[in-house]
Amino acid sequence: MLVACGMQRCHQEALKKNRVVLAKQLVLKELMEHMIEKDIITPEMMEMIQAQSGSFSQNVEFLNLLPKRGPNAFSAFCEALRETKQQHLEALILKTTSNLSHGIARLEHCYGSNLPFPASESCNAKRPRWIEPMEHSLDNGDGPPIPPVKYCTPEFYHDHQHLAYKLVSEPRGLALILSNVHFSSEKDLEYRAGGDVDCTSLEMLFKHLGYQVTVCHDQTAQEMQNALERFSKLPDHRDVDSCIVALLSHGVEGGVYGVDGKLLQLQEAFRLFDNANCPNLQNKPKMFFIQACRGDETDRGVDQRDGKEWSDSTGCEESDANKEENLKLRLPTRSDMICGYACLKGTAAMRNTKRGSWYIEALTSVFAEDSRDTHVADMLVKVNRQIKQREGYAPGTEFHRCKEMSEYCSTLCRDLYLFPGYLPGK
């Protein structure tokens, strides 16, 4: 079964049908402050909107962004309209929503509930938003087996350690997994079936790779923030060579949800581990893995057209000039990090309710098989390749033949080999 997340379809349609009126009449300045307070948009998003020239263009940018900000965005927008004395616009979109809901109810009365639009987008609040179309399940329903990690040889370590981060401590580092599966009943965030499979798979993988693992289940946004802060300040980071953080939850671009429906901003999580805030991990590799939606658009995919692949163009380098000498070595505020994302900006991540998410399944498989002789960036390319080749199977739904594409970003400065199983002098 597949899962995606986002604003209800009837709410998206209500915004779409009133788009021109909203673009002309919205007064954004104060309203956006309310939307930041409600954890729907970030200050950076407000700056991006305000960078547009003229109120109409700013309103259009805001309306483009709003449907991608999760299941709470519509109700928060309506509340912000009331708080900024724009009730006439709230009344307009609520009337449209009501008409759309009544239209669906009439169709269901006449023809039954077997309608040609996906149940996961239903605007009936009493029905689960995430009724999941079936994907072929290749296992017995108990989830995927945890693949054993293959160890690197002493010869490989000696041949590659001179270009790599030092990674020989025991344990290799500390790892934190924050896994949210059960969400507050009053929030429009459904149970993440298969999320426990992801959590168990990652916990076993990290342990087999030599990490000391801490797992926190079903936390509010503030509890997640507190857990990350405590973890980043652990004095034990001083004695190990790396660290891992994995966040598994519902999400939107730039944030993941706590079980209370509030957002933890990813930039705040990264900030806790930068060179200024986490000196015990300076010059040490820090790995982040984010299994969460970054929007609600399902990637439909496109048919491949035969032809040569694009080739990389050569770049140019510019040498540093006038370097000051004999000063204390300085570091950029954020470096030595690599972050893997389950999906691209604006798109939904897919999860099989029995086998776990596509991304975590690929990640555990590749890392178990290839970490013995492949550095992390190249392994994440292999993960990308596996995700690219995967396709949803759910005939008659929007998820049939759907695609997903993972990605990673990196400020690593050396090769990051995990050297599983290798301990100097043993």
Q: Of the residues 5, 293, 339, 343, which is catalytic?
A: 293
Q: What is the percent of the chain with per-residue pLDDT over 90, rounded to a whole number?
A: 56
* Per-residue pLDDT band at 328 (split at 50, 70, 90): low
Which pLDDT value is given to residue 209? 97
- Tell me: pLDDT of 119 over 90: no
Are the C-beta atoms of residues 133 and 402 closer than 8 Å to each other?
no
Which pLDDT value is given to residue 218? 95
Whether residue 413 lies in the annotated active site: no
Q: Which two tokens stand for residue 361?
A: 């399944």
Distances, alpha carbon 369 to alpha carbons 151, 210, 365, 373, in Å: 9, 15, 6, 9
> Of 189, 202, 337, which Cα lies nearest the Cα of 256?
189
- Tell me: pLDDT of 7 over 60: yes
Amino acid at 29: K
- Tell me: pLDDT of 150 over 70: yes
Alpha-carbon distance of 129 to 122, in angstroms, equals: 6
What is the rounded average pLDDT for all residues in the chain?
Answer: 82
Between 105-114, 173-182, 218-227, 329-338, the lowest mean confidence (pLDDT) is in 105-114
Whether residue 293 lies in the annotated active site: yes
Element (H, E) at 242: strand 242-248
Which pLDDT value is given to residue 110? 43
- Tell me: pLDDT of 310 over 50: no
Amino acid at 186: E
Are the C-beta atoms of residues 404 and 411 closer than 8 Å to each other?
no
Cis geometry, peptide bond prior to residue 395 (ω within 30 degrees of 0)? no
337: helix, strand or coil: strand
Are the C-beta atoms of residues 294 and 344 closer than 8 Å to each other?
yes
Alpha-carbon distance of 423 to 154, in angstroms, equals: 9
* Per-residue pLDDT band at 144 (split at 50, 70, 90): low
Q: Of the residues 250, 339, 375, 402, which is catalytic?
A: 250
Which pLDDT value is given to residue 94? 92
Which pLDDT value is given to residue 288? 97
> Of 123, 122, 42, 29, which Cα lies nearest the Cα of 75?
123
> Cβ neighbours of residue 339 under 8 Å, at least 6 residues apart?
270, 287, 288, 289, 290, 408, 409, 410
What would the mean pLDDT of 303-331 be, rounded to a whole number? 48
Beta strand 351-352 with 356-357: parallel, antiparallel or unpaired? antiparallel
Are the C-beta atoms of residues 259 and 180 closer than 8 Å to each other?
yes
Residue 122: Cβ within 10 Å count: 21
- Tell me: pLDDT of 314 over 70: no
* Per-residue pLDDT band at 123 (split at 50, 70, 90): very low
Stronger pLDDT, 331 or 31, i.e. the higher one: 31
- Tell me: pLDDT of 350 over 80: yes
Are the C-beta atoms of residues 216 and 256 closer than 8 Å to each other?
no
- Tell me: pLDDT of 100 over 70: yes
Beta strand 173-179 with 211-217: parallel, antiparallel or unpaired? parallel
Q: Which two tokens stand for residue 46?
A: 């407000």
- Tell me: pLDDT of 108 over 80: no
- Which of 14-23, 120-129, 137-146 is modeled with the greatest confidence? 14-23
Which pLDDT value is given to residue 217? 95
- Tell me: pLDDT of 112 over 60: no
The length of the chain is 426
Between 135-149, 161-175, 407-421, the lowest mean confidence (pLDDT) is in 135-149
Between 202-206, 253-257, 333-337, 422-426, the lowest mean confidence (pLDDT) is in 422-426
